[in-house]
């Protein structure tokens, strides 16, 4: 690749968390990847170094104007000791789409993927082997130019950090209760909702906190224009099975183009389960819940894979879905996707990429 990755091995190995201590994104592996960008020089100096604090000028643009994007994916260890990644090229493609929206210079997707694999190889003993556990990988870019003018940064860092994780939701694959958000809005068409960037998550924290206080796991986001059409659930895409057909909100510009989302659509098509991407109103969902046609609902994302929804609360009206138990399609999708990811079931789409270790 012309730009070999330099590797500095840590002399101090950290203590690894036990299975029940893992949580999500709390513990980090022994090493990290960094590559710098500066105007004129482009991306340069790709390196794996011991995991350590980074030093930034207090005026670095990331602190002030949020010019930052990220990705999330997982490495899985199979029973026979292989290390697998789930569609990592898709993450790198989206990384660059997010970069476009935020005015961040493109990153060579092959170099990013090579960096990711090299880092995993160095820290391979950090990949958990227990079912449902994995090594969560967080590639991200931050703007580092120390200047307060409101324009795109001249300098950036692309970094990758990794964290051994348990199940994202302590509830596991049991259905969660979701609060339909009427006041706060996550994103709107023309905004940055489609990009995986910090601002969307910052915008979601307050509503999420209020929902938690009310006893709900996540918020269901409605569109910013009409406050009527379903967009996402928490930081996941969302699916509804109504009268035998599975629906998910069409990509409108304010919805994240989830890799788990598109994989689920492919799986359902493969299984000949009717699946449609279209606008879905909250009234329609509640009407379907009342008539008994809303059979299943679930969120999808890298962290949780599938998170069944057992109850929706919209303006204090409650809709119980599928009797509050995990539905058949939700279960089958969870078992199949996690099975493919861990090399337990065939991978008909060639999704998994093996990391040489």
Q: Using CB under 8 A as the criterion, which residues of the chain lie in contact with its own copies when the complex forms?
A: 23-26, 28, 32, 51-59, 62-68, 70, 100-103, 136, 138, 140, 142, 146-152, 159, 161, 163, 183-192, 197-206, 208-209, 224-225, 227, 234-235
Q: Which two tokens stand for residue 191?
A: 């905004």
- Quote the least distance from Cβ 41 to its own copies, whole Å: 20
- Quote the least distance from Cβ 325 to its own copies, whole Å: 26
- Quote the least distance from Cβ 178 to its own copies, whole Å: 15
Q: Which two tokens stand for residue 57?
A: 């000028």
- Quote the least distance from Cβ 2 to its own copies, whole Å: 26
CA distances from 26 to 135, 172, 193, 223 (A): 12, 18, 26, 32
- State how far the Cα of 219 lies from the Cα of 322, in Å rounded to an integer: 19
Q: Which is nearer to its own copies, 23 or 172 (CB)?
A: 23
- Quote the least distance from Cβ 141 to its own copies, whole Å: 9
Q: Which is nearer to its own copies, 86 or 351 (CB)?
A: 86
- Quote the least distance from Cβ 118 to its own copies, whole Å: 17
Q: Which is nearer to its own copies, 166 or 327 (CB)?
A: 166
CA distances from 100 to 37, 158, 197, 311 (A): 15, 15, 11, 37
Q: Which is nearer to its own copies, 130 or 151 (CB)?
A: 151
Query: Do 282 and 222 contact (CB within 8 A), yes or no?
Result: yes
- Quote the least distance from Cβ 326 to its own copies, whole Å: 23
What sign for the dihedral angle of Cα 163, 155, 42, 89?
positive
Q: Which is nearer to its own copies, 59 or 325 (CB)?
A: 59
- State how far the Cα of 177 lies from the Cα of 217, in Å rounded to an integer: 6
DSSP calls for 217-230: SEEEEEPTTTS-BE
Query: Do 82 and 318 contact (CB within 8 A), yes or no?
Result: no
Q: Which is nearer to its own copies, 254 or 330 (CB)?
A: 254
Q: Which is nearer to its own copies, 121 or 188 (CB)?
A: 188
Q: Which two tokens stand for residue 259?
A: 């890799």
- Quote the least distance from Cβ 163 to its own copies, whole Å: 6
What sign for the dihedral angle of Cα 300, 333, 110, 76?
positive
Contacts of 323 (CB under 8 A, 6+ apart): none
Q: Which is nearer to its own copies, 182 or 243 (CB)?
A: 182
Which of these, 259, 22, 14, 263, lies nearest to 129 by C-alpha position?
22
- State how far the Cα of 267 lies from the Cα of 192, in Å rounded to an integer: 28
- State how far the Cα of 248 lies from the Cα of 241, in Å rounded to an integer: 9
Burial class (CB in 10 A: 0-12, 13-18, 19+), 92: buried
């Amino acid at each position: 690749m012309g730009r070999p990755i330099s590797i500095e091995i840590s002399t101090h190995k950290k203590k690894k968390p036990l299975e029940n201590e893992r949580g999500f994104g709390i513990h980090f592996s022994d090493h990290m990847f960094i590559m710098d960008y500066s105007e004129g020089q482009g991306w340069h100096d790709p390196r794996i170094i011991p995991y350590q604090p980074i030093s930034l000028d207090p005026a670095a643009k990331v602190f002030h104007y949020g010019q930052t994007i990220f990705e999330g994916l997982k490495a899985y260890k199979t029973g026979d000791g292989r290390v697998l990644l789930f569609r990592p090229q898709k993450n790198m493609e989206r990384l660059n789409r997010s970069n476009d929206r935020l005015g961040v210079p493109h990153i060579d997707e092959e170099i990013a993927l090579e960096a990711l694999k090299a880092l995993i190889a160095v820290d391979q003993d950090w990949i958990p082997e227990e079912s449902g556990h994995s090594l969560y990988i967080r590639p991200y870019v931050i703007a580092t130019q120390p200047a307060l003018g409101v324009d795109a940064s001249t300098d950036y860092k692309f970094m990758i950090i990794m964290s051994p994780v348990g199940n994202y939701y302590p509830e596991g694959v049991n259905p969660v209760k979701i609060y339909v958000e009427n006041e706060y809005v996550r994103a709107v068409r023309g905004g940055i909702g489609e990009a995986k960037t910090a601002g969307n998550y910052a915008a979601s924290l307050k509503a999420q906190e209020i929902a938690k206080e009310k006893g709900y796991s996540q918020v269901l986001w409605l569109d910013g224009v009409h406050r009527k059409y379903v967009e996402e659930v928490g930081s996941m895409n969302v699916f509804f099975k109504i009268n035998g057909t599975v629906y998910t909100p069409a990509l409108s510009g304010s919805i994240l183009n989830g890799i788990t989302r598109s994989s689920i659509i492919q799986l359902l098509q493969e299984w000949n389960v009717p699946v449609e991407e279209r606008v879905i109103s909250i009234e329609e969902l509640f009407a379907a819940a009342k008539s008994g046609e809303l059979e299943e609902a679930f969120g999808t994302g890298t962290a949780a894979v599938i998170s069944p929804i057992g109850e929706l609360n919209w303006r204090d009206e409650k809709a119980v879905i599928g009797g509050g138990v995990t539905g058949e399609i939700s279960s089958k999708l969870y078992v199949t996707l996690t099975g493919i990811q861990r090399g337990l079931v065939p991978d008909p789409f060639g999704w998994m990429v093996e990391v040489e270790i």
